[in-house]
Structure 1
């Protein structure tokens, strides 16, 4: 005679221990057997969803989390798990809706707040709200790994924005002054005043390009205040260089205004390209490695 089956809570608890040990396949097997006899156990369906995320079977995880939600619509973690699985499949708007519902049910859940944060960043490209949400997650749990990862993404966003503003302040005057240099390259004082800013501009461009490559694929955030400031700096530099060489106010003003216009055109191009940008890499779009994000609950 076979011994009686383990109590319901014992089977689900053992599955949780397996997931914590990153033994996802045995956990899936155990929960599957348990659910064949207890199909209305919402906790087991939710734990199965988390194990399937760890196993990499996101479609099955969505189905399992959906069963948990059908049984218990107030299960915050089930909403979060389904949102995470959908995010991993690139179904961002559906993930956004799930994450928003999870935060509505539990506004102090750091994993839910961070998942909503990365959805806001991925779908809306709203960096201000992204910062607010992941910072709320860190306020609840300063050691939360996904939220700390999002803080790192935010630092990269800031570095990219700063590097781009420097580029907008340097690249347009470099172009304008380079053309001016070619036009008057006769060894005169005028040529010298336009040559040296060009050399400095090339050096700054190399540094900015190197800095931009280190941040990876993150949204480009440019405010019009920063853009106009960078354009004015570039225009002043070009006007100063031309004035130094020609002592002609009209020509200096013309080159300065031309530089401002070119800088603004470049900024508009950057913003359009940013609006069409593709999705974030998986690790950034989920707030960290997926198996760490799917905290067992």
Structure 2
């Protein structure tokens, strides 16, 4: 949706000029020509979404926060407006609204009214909506759900996905498979799991960075064996334990620094609390502060 907003409204990163819109439009048209579900279509989609995402990357060639915020804020306001209009349809309720779409429950007798509202929204925003009718939807939250259309395969998102690509982590695929069996096909979870015979769907992944070590340990024998840093494993009633050995990240007995803090902010707060002192001191004599410590 976000690339489409930029295309129809001729929005572009200031340093790249208006030619950017023409190139973006070319990618959009080519994706429609080759088909959205094809490999080439996926490439064009990745190109458009990648450019939009990189527009908020300070180290990327497309960086322009004004472009990013113009597209993002307008997109969210457009969807909010669509929801407001739809909620005026008698009996209609919104199930969820995400960054690029709205899921709703609408009485059959109001379907034509709902579609007319959508057409008015399309005319105003210059965007095109796609309609998919679901016969069933199991939803945990806006990013995790299974939607079963009247035609085609179920749409799986987030925790319910199990058809992973090769670069993704296919751990514990039995969990979303069992959830789908129960929620979509009304099958018994225990029966499904005990009857499933693909061992790879039960496997998990152990992964450590280069500075750490992953080992299999057998306490009863006092033995351990290093394994590769990324290892597939399964949970069993017997066998060894998979252990992560990681170097210490700080002095034992000191407070742990929160993640994603800049050094400038961390040390400014540190100077402030050290000047004031406090009762909850760690082993290094540093007072605790929730702004910088876990």
Q: TM-score, normalised by structure 1?
A: 0.26
Q: Per residue, is there more strand in 1 or in 2? A: 2
Higher RCO structure (Cα 8 Å, ≥6 apart): 1
Structure exhibiting the larger radius of gyration computed from Cα positions: 1
